[in-house]
Amino acid sequence: MAELIGLLMFVGAGGLGVVILYGLMGIIIVQPRTQVVVLRWGKYKRTITSAGMNYIFPLGRQLYRVSSQDTSIDIPKTTVLDANGNPIEISAVCIYRVREAHNAVLQVNNYGAFAYHLANVVVKSVCSRYPYETRDPNAPCLKKESEQVTTELVSELQKMVQHVGIEILQLRITDLTYAPEIAQSMLLRQQAEAMVAARRKIVEGAVTTMQGALTRMQQVNLNLPQPVAESLATNLMLVLCSGERVQAFMPIQIGDTKGKS
């Protein structure tokens, strides 16, 4: 009888030890900037957001750890037609943060892949509404990454991932170029525009210089005859605009000038 009692006590102690050890498995450590979604028998119970030690009895328990840190995803280079129909290659980076872990776990299979694919869609959609560049300094374009473009990228992606509990912090363009098939043509156009702008600047400076020269001659009472003044202005404009020495100057004799005046 005593042996039976001892055996029962041993079995009971062993069973109690197993229960205690099993119960200790319910202790979990939650790291900072981490959320733990708790399910019991497949039903959502709660989300642990406070860092430190927590206890959840392990029977029927499922835990999903979700990081609340800022996460960046690279949107690879893709070809898009801008608002003018020009093919451009564009890449971007998206930075997001999980705000509601239970929605991120329960609403989609993989919230990271979900955000990645939707970011690709938004970049293509939004960038197709704006031109690569524009001559109007106040008009939004992709080249200077206008605030309007950046705001629209973030707001449109945020609407798509709102139900998943994800907050979009940034969605910015990292690389933007013309597609190879038109890159050479666009480069030639930019060079032509730059040359025209430079010539325009030279002409404006030449006109200002010529006006200053004529005004100065009038101030020192150097009154030239009208044909001589016109010839001087023409030659001065030619020199300033050509940037080279010009041999065909009209010789001006001081004596003759005084005699004619």
Closest among 142, 228, 149, 138 to 178, alpha carbons compared: 142
Give 187-229 pLDDT, tens digit per residue: 666 666 677 777 777 777 777 877 777 777 777 776 767 777 6
* pTM, 2 dp: 0.65
Is pLDDT above 60 for 88? yes
**What's the token pair of residue 41?**
């028998």
Domains in the chain with CATH codes = 26-67 (no CATH), 71-178 (3.30.479.30), 194-260 (no CATH)
Closest among 66, 60, 55 to 102, alpha carbons compared: 66
Give 126-161 pLDDT, tens digit per residue: 999 998 888 787 888 888 877 889 999 999 999 999
Asked if 177 and 91 touch (Cβ cutoff 8 Å), the reply is no
- Spatial distance between the Cα atoms of 177 and 206, rounded to a whole number of angstroms: 37
